[in-house]
Structure 1
């Protein structure tokens, strides 16, 4: 009985080593083949959305999609088996991405068109950071997250001001231009204000009166200023987050701080620095 249990445990360990460990030959081959399958699947979904290709190769493309869906389904089940804590993997970011990358194919059996959501499989390419030893670059994502979190209050106030502006400008334009010039309602006028302030300018609605054109000109000028505000807020937040992160990297020997985030040794005494929080592989092959 014990030998059977040990055999199952060894089988799971071997499977986990192949799925999670990109340093082994088998693990790297598995990951490279997986990425190739993901890219092929995404291309098949894209081509299936093009009428001329769907008419000529529709059957082959759908067959390929189902074949790859079967492969990804088996892979997802194997990841659940190999994970030390299947529930933790299933609820992790990559676990949910793996699940949602196969669900649309089965949903499409009841809801036509849902198969195009298989394009979500492109998110699985984030595993390339682990495979090609780029995980350390994910640490910069934490700096961006900290910057956005620190700037949340300012960005919220900024968005509230912008929302107020588009409502006021849209209402004024509705009063000035009216339905005869395409501003048929206040919501439609607010839509025009949003398009104008963001400098998109679709041109489907345009003011015709001199007063309306003057208001539109003001909205366009405000749009350029509005674009610069969030950029400055996030830039300051990034600088502060980067400075705080450098300050946190203290040399354990001499106590010197403010080392670069990618520095491995102290610039004063050459002592090895503590590792930064760059995220490690989570159970089930999902980098945290």
Structure 2
């Protein structure tokens, strides 16, 4: 009887923490997101000296309470899955850990708790809560397009690096140290800033020839910006071309998470995990 109660306890917690199809699971995720947003605001407010000086104790206590709650949540996530290391070393597992430990580390190294803003990554769970998982296909297409474009983009970036070195060297020879171009690395830095249309203004050409070259670099910069965009856009269009019809089944995915291997994106009414075959309704 005790073993069955243990299974029911783990199964119930798993459904609440890892899934958002039940009212309890959705409520848990909504409360979690609100807590994450509150913790990020606390860290941001603490960085404002005037606010921190006035409400330091309140901010510190509130942050510790939230950190302890996140710690408990992290531990519960581990004990409710059959293969905890799969969760611990997953993307969300690492994010959950990194969003919890900064406050503890700040006891030894002051100021590190500001890294608690990494909790913002946990807001990605909003896709599950709002049933936006179906739209992740678009982000996957974009990721595949960028991956398919990496060779072309690498060649492009290599060409740009060569161009900035040559143009930076030319500007060093034209302008010289008296106009702020004290060495080739600094001239290359100026060329990169100009080519990317950032223009900090800390160094500027003074001679007519230098200004003419700078104008050409600025115009070239606008053209260069369009190149990687065109490469990725072409690959993205290719990724979005109509394929086989079975992909429509992805519109019927839910938020069920396998208690054994933590696999997600199961179809509606699925009883067993598509990855490991474990019963989805029993821990």
Normalised-by-shorter TM-score class:
0.7 to 0.9
Partner of 2:278: none
**Alpha-carbon contact 1:139-1:278 (below 8 Å) kept:** no
Cα offset for 1:274?
3.6
**Alpha-carbon contact 2:174-2:209 (below 8 Å) kept:** yes
1:7-62, Cα deviation, whole Å (9 max, x unpaired): 22221111101112212221111111101100000101111111211111122112
1:111-151, Cα deviation, whole Å (9 max, x unpaired): 22111111010110100110111111111111011111111
Counterpart-to-counterpart distance in 1, 2:39 and 2:148: 38
The 1:109/1:40 distance shift into structure 2, 3 A limit, reads same
TM-score by length of 1: 0.86
Structure 2: state its 5+ residue gaps.
266-283
**From 112, 115, 118, the counterpart of 2:116:** 118
Structure 1 runs, 4 residues or longer, greater than 4 Å off: 276-288
The 1:92/1:61 distance shift into structure 2, 3 A limit, reads same
- Corresponding residue SS for 1:5: helix
- Corresponding residue SS for 2:199: coil
- Corresponding residue SS for 1:184: coil
**From 128, 133, 136, the counterpart of 2:134:** 136
Partner of 1:5: 3
**Alpha-carbon contact 1:92-1:286 (below 8 Å) kept:** no
Partner of 2:245: 249
Cα offset for 1:239?
0.2
**Alpha-carbon contact 2:21-2:254 (below 8 Å) kept:** no
- Corresponding residue SS for 2:109: coil
Partner of 1:275: 250
Counterpart-to-counterpart distance in 1, 2:256 and 2:220: 46
The 1:100/1:125 distance shift into structure 2, 3 A limit, reads same
- Corresponding residue SS for 1:247: coil
TM-score by length of 2: 0.87
Counterpart-to-counterpart distance in 2, 1:190 and 1:111: 37
Structure 1: state its 5+ residue gaps.
251-260, 262-272
Counterpart-to-counterpart distance in 2, 1:126 and 1:119: 14
- Corresponding residue SS for 1:275: helix
The 1:277/1:212 distance shift into structure 2, 3 A limit, reads farther
**From 41, 53, 73, the counterpart of 1:55:** 53
Counterpart-to-counterpart distance in 2, 1:124 and 1:110: 25
Counterpart-to-counterpart distance in 2, 1:278 and 1:174: 59
The 1:22/1:223 distance shift into structure 2, 3 A limit, reads same
Task: Kindly report the root-mean-square deviation, in angstroms, between the aligned alpha carbons of the 2 structures.
Answer: 2.0
**Alpha-carbon contact 1:97-1:123 (below 8 Å) kept:** yes
Partner of 2:167: 169
Cα offset for 1:170?
1.3
